[in-house]
Amino acid sequence: MTASTPNPRVTLALVVLVALLIGANFTALKFALDHTTPLLLAGLRTVVGGTFLLGFVTLVRGERIPTDRAMLGKIFVVSLAITTISSGLLVFGVSRVSAGVASLLSSTMPLFTALLVLLLMGTRPTRLGGLGLVVGFFGTAVLAWPSLSGETTAVGIVALAVSALAWAFGTVFMQWRDFSDVSPVMIVAVQLPMSAAVLIPIALIVEGVDDTDWSMGLFVPLAYAAIPANAVTFALMATIVKRAAATQAAATAYLIPISGVFFGWLIRDERLGTAELVGGVLVVAGVYLLVTANARAKMAASGPRWSEPDAVSAQTSNPCRSSMVSSR
């Protein structure tokens, strides 16, 4: 191994670390929701995460905030889809279902991305990718079916599914439009304050602050959800995409739901029923087939980047399912 060759063990460690950080995010949100309301929590995440990431990008990396109106308009569309609608519905969904089920449903984002690309752009997945779509969506139905009998959990299931769909739309939009003049980190850093400007006023009008306990019980999980599970994972995912093979980077897409279920069991003693367990396995298997097929296609030929939804999921997740990823 030469000095310029990335150490595969380090790359694997980064992939696992990202999966663990994002997977634990669902449990952190559950703890935070014990002290506040869903929309306000989603808004506070964007305020804390956006402040941290914008400071990092401008002060540490020395990047300038974009001022071009056309670029800001495109970033605003992405912010509405990913860090406003998707993030808001994600937190709302987590308030209605277990952290494990939420992480499994959120992992369907790559499936929705491929489906939207097929419907809107006419680009068909490979046979393996198509099989992944069928298996993944069948698993989603199996996973959600037991919860649909209760009104509260059914609303949470629908919210999480729409959250994944909104995130997928933002991902596809970023393939339609040119964002090459702005770094991915800066895109997320600008997205978050834009989302805060939408989410916070809505939360104050709809929910108010009477049900919020401004204590460490809120601040600690909020800080985790906004920074380690958001801004930090975005930076780590960007590093992984640079140093890893496409199949390695894709691994985060199906490791995150496994991590989410694990932390829900470990910390909150959550248990999955038989249908939820079977459905979850099918969802993970479907995502695995899809992202593996896409990664292979990317390595075999230069194709449109839609075929690697996992790389954008960093936009997720991040985080910033926040965004990069939200992070999710």
Q: Which amino acid is at 92?
A: F
What would the two tokens of residue 64 be?
A: 């300038």
Q: Look at residue 152 in the predicted model and tell me its pLDDT.
A: 62
Hey, is 147 helix, strand or coil? Answer: helix
Give the orientation angle of helix 274-300 with respect to helix 99-106, to 10 degrees.
30
Task: Report the C-alpha gap between 311 and 80 in whole angstroms.
Answer: 20
Q: Whole-model pTM?
A: 0.84
Question: Residue 62 — left, alpha, or beta (φ > 0 → left; ψ -120 to 50 → alpha)?
Answer: left
Give the orientation angle of helix 233-243 with respect to helix 8-33, to 10 degrees.
160
Residue ranges covered by each domain of the chain: 8-312
Task: Report the C-alpha gap between 262 and 64 in whole angstroms.
Answer: 40
Q: Look at residue 6 in the predicted model and tell me its pLDDT.
A: 64
**With contact defined as beta carbons under 8 Å apart, do 94 and 264 qualify?**
no
Hey, is 252 helix, strand or coil? Answer: helix
Phi, psi of 36 (to 5 degrees): -155, -175
pLDDT, one tens digit for every residue, the chain (328 residues): 554 566 767 877 888 898 899 999 999 999 999 999 999 999 999 999 999 999 999 999 999 999 999 999 999 999 999 999 999 999 999 999 989 889 888 888 888 888 888 888 777 888 888 888 888 888 888 887 776 656 568 899 999 999 999 998 988 888 788 888 888 888 889 999 999 999 999 999 999 999 999 999 999 999 999 999 887 887 777 677 666 665 566 667 778 888 898 999 999 888 878 888 888 889 888 888 887 777 777 666 554 443 333 334 444 344 334 434 444 4
What would the two tokens of residue 7 be?
A: 């150490």
Task: Report the C-alpha gap between 180 and 182 in whole angstroms.
Answer: 5
Gyration radius of the chain's alpha carbons: 18
Vertex 316: Cα angle to 315 and 317 (nearest 5): 150
| Distances 163 to 10, 88, 90, 170 between C-alpha atoms, Å | 32, 8, 6, 11
CA-closest candidate to residue 98, choices 227, 277, 255, 223 = 277
